[in-house]
Amino acid sequence: MGYGRFLLKRGVQGVGVVWGVVTVVFILRFITPGSPVDTVAPLDASQATRERIAADLGLNQPFYIQYLDYLAGLLRGDMGYSYISSIPASTQVFTKLPATLELAVAASVVAIVISIPLGVISATRRHQPADYGATTFSLLGISTPNFWLGIMLVLVFSVEFNVFPTSGRAFGFMDSMRAITGPEPFFGVLTAWLASLFLPAITLGTYFTALITRLVRSGMLDELSEGYVRATRAKGLPETLVRYKHVLRNTLVPVVTVLGLQLGTLIGGAVITEAVFAWPGLGTEIIRAINARDWPILQGSLIVIGTGFVLLNIAVDALYAYLDPRVVAE
Amino acid sequence: MSQEDTSRRRFLQAAGSATAAVALAGCTGDGDSTEGTMTTSAGGTSGDGDTPDTETETTERPEPETRDGYLQRANRHVHEQAPWVFLNRQYSVYGQSEDIDWQPRTDERVSAYAIEPATDSGDDVVMTQSQMDSGLDPQDHRETPTDNIVLQAYEGLLQRDREGAIVQKLATDYERLDETTVQFTVRDNVSFHSGDSLTPEDVAFSINRIVDPEVGIESPQTDQLIGVDGAEVASTDDRTVNVNLTGLNPIVFASFATYCDIMNKSWVESNDDAYINQNMEGTGPFVLSNYEQGVEVEFQRNNDYWDDEAAISTFTINSASESSTRVNRLLSDETDIAVNVPPQEVSRVEENDGTSISAVPSTRILFNAMRYDVEPFSSPEFRQAVNYAVDLDSIVENVLQTFGDPTGQPTLEGFFGYNEDLDPYPQDLDQAEQLVEDSGHAGVEIELVTPIGRYLRDVEIAQAVANQVDQLPNVSASARQVEFQTLVSQVTTGNIEDKPPWYLLGWGNATFDAIQTIQPLLSSDGALTSYENDELDSLLEEAQSLPSESN
């Protein structure tokens, strides 16, 4: 099987998975208690009003008609309209996506910047104070609840010392890019953007920092006991070069895979962090849609996240297949 | 609805020409409340709220003569028959910065028009509430967070002042023409934000857009203007609009004082729903300057406002669902008003320099409904016993940290129809135990269903109630939490049988009239009823057959 056919096969499988996501989400809507009409209509609305609103939202149609209509709409790029605001679901979902992506990428950057040096130090100074410090940090990082950490960071850095804003997103990545040429002072926009991003990114990134620190430490320890390390040392290479050029490089291959796949988890898992920091992203939108039974928004958000997962997986597969032709042959 | 048909019939039968003429004549004007003078006909002034009478004794009281009297009698009936555990009136609690001068309103709505700068930095005001709008169409929503946003730019014919009295806004006059017609005179020299002049056509169109599904949208506000059939321009020369009613509808002006924002007909007709939900074209004191859906709404002062210009230049509304985040914003000077500060956060706001708490009794009542048709709640003695078992003062003191008032009737103090002779049930465990024995349900197990996080401290209140009832030696009680939407889907089906036997619910009533609480929640054909009783139904019918003394 050639590389092209392999990619095609993965692509078709991906489409199947996305279709499965759409279907499962659609079925969930029918087995979830509570009707959207209850959130649109006042509590004391008459039955007649309820029925009219249901008809207006198309909820009086049988399951299969609603399902086929929705699928047909998706093929046209139409996710329907929010039950609550009448705004197209695609508009509402895609305007919230950048904030969440930004937060996920920033959290990954925090994780990479802190965890790799920490993992290396921990592995190369095994059973020394630095190692104990790093492993204690990762234990704390994995067991600290996100929302608690977020609230504590805000109390200390925003309320007490007033260094960062408490919450919200003053500007986005695109705003700061536009400010390069725009009338607003670029530096001001950039710092405001980074300041509002800092605490949420730390909060969301801590768990992954801890996770990857452990991964790097154990990976590095495994590699250090490999035969090629002894060979390079015997060749007379300086220890720094051995550790950082050869060992770390080999350790990073699984780390990059984990990071790639975790980016999807970060997007889906940003919900609590977004709530604590009133971050206007997809997580906040999903919570709102769940509370309001705003199914078009919920479906749209879940489909976007699901599709993101599938694309990331395909990208990782494709990269593997490119690096290791044996994968294609299987 | 059959209720209006009955009202109409009753009106024709009973009102009689002379009484009706006098009463109708009193229905015009500026909305001065005369309810205070009506209490003599309330049906007894025995002040016996602590010892409920039986139904026979109730009917021996002299017949009320006024609508107020009938509503007060209805409240007495409900107090005595206890279809609810009466709990508390909720408070609206705001955190406020010293940069602004502002007093909160009873009806939970925050109007930036009432805010004045107190310091130099108070000219640009920011407010953080728990959630953003559900779209900017003022007729296509129904909840307070959206109200707070749309009311800055849109206005109705009538409005309420801070204490809840009706005042004119876009109408300069309002009166009843006959039993099924009321007339509004539309203010002259008012323009929309686009510059278009306000016309009687806009007013008639706006009313019809709510009550008539053929006009534009399925408005969820239809039931808020219930009994309104439609509107038509009476005369463009003297700027009058006639509103046709399906029955007498005594609270029609009270409804218009709370609902029905006026929109620009041509603007609405030339734009689609999505556009109308992301833009604003009202007559109000603020103009929309920036809208980021779900994130932030910014307003600027309307310099062409028909009345005095607003005191502040800009008003920004954003949201944070976490109460601690809202308080943190206030403490860090990022916002000037934090809406819904929960009791546990109050001390942080009060102890901080430059911020304070503003609290006001709201229009929302919290209660535990007990279904009249299932044992043991089918027994009035048992329902009274549960009321005697509960220590309302302790709940208000300890759970709500004094941000609440105990209640003993479905109508709140200050509302039309409130019966001031009725006191909340005191806690009396001996009497409660005896009443349980009398009811024949000793040894029963009951379960209180409560929503989670819908109302201020709802779960804690339900747990306190269940614990207190559980202290009775002959009843065991517990509380069970459900998601609010699950409870809603059970209580709104229109069938009493679908509801849990005992559940906690809150009810806001922005019309300041008893009927809007008792009718939907306790009358036989109420959309959410847990109680059926012919005597109560006939009291409400009588009340609805008479015009309201207050407007």
- Per-residue pLDDT averaged across A199-203, rounded? 92
- Residue A327: per-residue pLDDT: 66
Q: What CA dihedral angle connects B426, B430, B436 and B437, to 10 degrees?
A: -150
Q: What is the mean pLDDT of residues B395-424?
A: 92
Between residues B178 and A170, the one the model is more confident about: B178
Query: B394 and B20 in contact (C-beta within 8 Å)?
Result: no
Best B225, B255, B268, B322 residue to mutate vs chain A (most A CBs within 10 Å): B322
Portion 278-317 of B in contact with A at CB < 8 A:
278, 292-295
Q: Which of B339, B364, B341, B368 is nearest to B461 (CA)?
A: B368
Residues linked to residue B89 through DSSP beta bridges, in sequence order: B365, B405
Looking at residue B261, what DSSP letter applies?
B
Distance CA B430, CA B440 (A): 16
Q: How far is A243 from chain B (nearest CA, A)?
A: 45
Radius of gyration of chain B (CA): 24
For B187, the token pair is 């203010």
Tens digits of residue pLDDT in B343-398: 889 999 999 999 999 999 999 999 999 999 999 999 999 999 999 999 999 999 99
Residue B43 — pLDDT band, cuts 50, 70, 90? very low
Residue of B nearest to A32 (CA): B486
Q: Name the average pLDDT for chain A.
A: 85
Q: Which residues of A70-96 are buried (b: 16+ CB within 10 A; e: fewer)?
A: beeebeeeebbbbbbbbbbbbbbbebb
Minimal CA–CA distance to A22: which of A65, A71, A57? Answer: A71
- Using one digit for the tens of pLDDT, what is the confidence trace for A217-227? 988 888 888 88
> How far from each other are the two terminal CA atoms of chain B, in whole angstroms?
23
The alpha carbon of B270 is separated from its chain's Cα centroid by a whole number of angstroms, namely 33
Q: In chain B, which among 98-127 make CB contacts under 8 A with chain A? A: none
Taking the CA atoms of B411, B417, B418 and B424 in sequence, report the sign of the dihedral they define. Answer: negative
Mean predicted confidence (pLDDT) in B450-464:
91
Strand-pair partners of A88:
A81
| A154-172 pLDDT, tens digit each | 999 998 888 898 888 878 7
Distances (CA, A) of B234 to B207, B237, B257, B344, B466: 14, 9, 21, 55, 57
First CA to last CA distance, chain A: 8
- CA A82 to CA B332: how far, in whole Å? 34
Query: What pLDDT sits at residue B398?
Result: 92
Q: Which of A205, A101, A76, A79 is nearest to A149 (CA)?
A: A205
CA atoms within 13 A on the CB side of B338: 30
Distance from CA of B527 to the nearest CA of A (A): 5
Least confident of A298-302, B289-293, B488-492: B488-492
Chain B: nearest CA to A260, how far in angstroms?
A: 29
* Chain B interface test: which of A40, A95, A102, A166 (most B C-beta within 10 Å): A166
**Helices A3-31/A63-75 angle, 10° precision:** 140
CB-based contact (8 Å) between B482 and chain A? no
Helical H segments across B171-243, by residue range: 200-211
CA distance B60 to chain A (A): 33
Nearest neighbour of B135 by CB, restricted to A85, A151, A154: A85
The ipTM assigned to this model is: 0.84
What letters, b where the CB count within 10 A reaches 16 and e where it falls short, cover A157-171?
bbbeeeebbbbbbeb
Q: How far apart are CA A70 and CA A296, in angstroms?
A: 9
Contacts of B277 in chain A (CB under 8 A): 85-87
CA dist B301 and B494 (Å) reads 45
Q: What is the Cα–Cα distance from B129 to B299, expressed in whole angstroms?
A: 16
Between B506 and B219, residue with greater pLDDT: B506
User: pLDDT higher for B6 or B462?
Assistant: B462
Of B135, B331, B526, the CB nearest to A86: B135
d(CA B507, CA B523) in angstroms, rounded, equals 15
